[in-house]
Amino acid sequence: PFDVLVVGGGPAGASAAIYAARKGIRTGIVAERFGGQIMDTKGIENFISVKYTEGPQLAASLEEHVKEYNIDIMNLQRAKRLEKNDNLVHIELENGAVLKSKTVILSTGARWRNIGVPGEEEFKTKGVAYCPHCDGPLFAGKHVAVIGGGNSGIEAAIDLAGVVKHVTVIEFMPELKADQVLQDRLHSLSNVTVITNAQTKEITGTDKVNGLTYIDRATGEEHHIELAGVFVQIGLVPNTDWLEGTVERNRMGEIIVDKRGATNIPGVFAAGDCSDSPYKQIIISMGSGATAALGAFDYLIRN
Ligand code: FAD
C-alpha cells in the first residue's frame, strides 16, 4: 500500500504530494486531469513571487516539480469510491482498480456553477469571469455585471466596485439573497446598480464581451446593457459527490477539515477547494495541501 495517496492533481494535490514525498514515504497521486482548474485559467497575477503566469504554464511547472520526486502519478483516472478497511483506505477508480493507502489526501477541487446561457462558454476568459480576486483588476475603469445576488455575488460586487467603474448586479429572484450587512454595504456604494427579477438571456460580444441581455420577469420585456465583463457568481460546487455517505461534508458539499486538514475518518485528510477552508485560491490551496501532507505524516508516525 501507499503511505500517502493523493486524490486530485491540482495545486492542492501537487503540493500535498511533494510535501509527502519529501518525507521519504511511499506517495501516489491519482488525478482525473493533472493541473485542475488552472488548466482553464489564462492570466494569473496573484501567485505570489510570480508576477505573471498563465494556467497551463503553471500546471506544467507543477507537474515538473512533482516529477522531481519519487511519486507514482496516475493521470486520467477518476476515483469513484472511498472505503476504510482494516486500517487502510481503499480508493476505487472508475476503471475498477482499487488503490490502498495508509492515508489519503482528498484534493478534488471544485467547479464554478455555470449559468448556461449563450455567450458564456464562448467568452470565457474574454470577458466572462468567475473570480473577482483574480480578474477584477482586468476591468479597471470599465463597466461590469455580477450575475447572482447571494453572498458571493454581493461580496464580488462590493469588491469590484472598488476596482472597476460601475457594477450592475443581476438577480433572478425578486430580492437579493445576501446577508443584510452585505446588502447595506452594497447600497452605500454610488457606482452599483441592482436589477432584481431579471433572467439573463445572453452574454453578447464579438471577439470579447460587449454586454448582456436580460428579461424583466415582471413585464417580460427584454433589455440590453453594455459591459466589458460579466462575473458569474451563482455558486462554487465541490467535486465531492463521490464521497456521499463516507467523509463528512457541510451543507455546500465541502469536506469538513480541522486545522491539520484531517476529516472525520482517521487517516483521511482533505485540502484545497474541495474542503471547507474559506477563500478558494491557488496559493491557499497549495498551503492547505502542505498542511494536509504534514498532518498525514504526523498521523503515520503515531499509528
Ligand atoms: P482543482 O484545481 O480544482 O483540482 C482538482 C483536481 O482533482 C484536478 O486534478 C481534477 O481533475 C481532480 N479530480 C476531481 N475529481 C476527481 C475524482 N473523482 N478522481 C480523481 N481526480 C479528481 N486562483 C488564483 O489564485 N488566481 C487566479 O488568477 C485564479 N483564476 C482562476 C480562473 C478560473 C477560470 C478558475 C476556474 C479558477 C481560478 N482560480 C484562481 C482558482 C484556482 O484555480 C483554484 O482555487 C485552485 O485551482 C484550487 O486547487 P485545488 O487543487 O484545490 O483544486
Q: Are 138 and 160 part of one and the same domain?
A: yes
> What residue spans of the chain are helical by DSSP H?
11-21, 55-67, 132-135, 151-161, 180-187, 282-302
In a domain, 123, yes or no: no
Assigned domain for 117 exists: no
For residue 146, give Cα distances in angstroms to 87, 113, 171, 191, 214. 48, 14, 9, 13, 13
- Residue 33's pLDDT is 97
When divided into structural domains, the chain yields a total of 2
**247 and 214 housed in the same domain:** no
The CATH code of the domain that includes 290 is 3.50.50.60
Pick from 205, 232, 259: which residue ends a domain?
A: 232
**Residue 208 structural domain:** 128-232
Residue 15: count of CB within 10 angstroms of its CB: 29
Same domain for 148 and 49, yes or no, is no
Q: Do 204 and 246 share a domain, yes or no?
A: no
Q: Which three cell numbers stand for residue 94?
A: 472508475
Does residue 98 sit in the same domain as residue 148?
Answer: no
Residue 120 lies in a domain: no
Positive or negative: CA dihedral 62, 63, 69, 71: positive
Same domain, 105 and 183: no
Task: Determine the Cα–Cα distance for residues 67 and 74; give it in Å rounded to an integer.
Answer: 12
**Interval between CA 109 and ligand 1 midpoint (Å):** 5
Question: 95 with 244, same domain?
Answer: yes
pLDDT of residue 43: 87
| Tens-binned pLDDT, residue by residue, of the chain (303 aa) | 999 999 999 999 999 999 999 999 999 999 999 999 999 888 899 999 999 999 999 999 999 999 999 999 999 999 999 999 989 999 999 999 999 999 999 999 999 999 999 999 999 989 999 999 999 999 999 999 999 999 999 999 999 999 999 999 999 999 999 999 999 999 999 999 999 999 999 999 999 999 999 999 999 999 999 999 999 999 999 999 999 999 999 999 999 999 999 999 999 999 999 999 999 999 999 999 999 999 999 999 999
pLDDT of amino acid 242: 98
For residue 132, is it within any domain?
Answer: yes
Give the SS3 label for residue 134: helix
- Last-in-domain residue among 232, 250, 285: 232
Mutate to test the pocket of ligand 1, among 98, 125, 131, 230 (most ligand atoms within 8 A of CB): 131
Whether residues 6 and 106 share a domain: the answer is yes
Residue 243 lies in a domain: yes
Task: Please check whether residues 224 and 270 belong to one and the same domain.
Answer: no
- Domain check: are 18 and 101 in the same one? yes
Q: Which of 7, 49, 63, 239 maximizes ligand 1 atoms within 8 Å of its Cβ, making it the mutation to test the pocket?
A: 239
With a CB cutoff of 8 Å and minimum separation 6, the contacts of 220 are none
- In this prediction, the answer to ipTM > 0.85 reads yes
For residue 121, is it within any domain?
Answer: no
Last residue of one domain, picked from the residues 212, 232, 252:
232
**The predicted structure's pLDDT at residue 70:** 97
Rounded distance from Cα 13 to ligand 1 centre (Å) = 10
Residue 122 lies in a domain: no
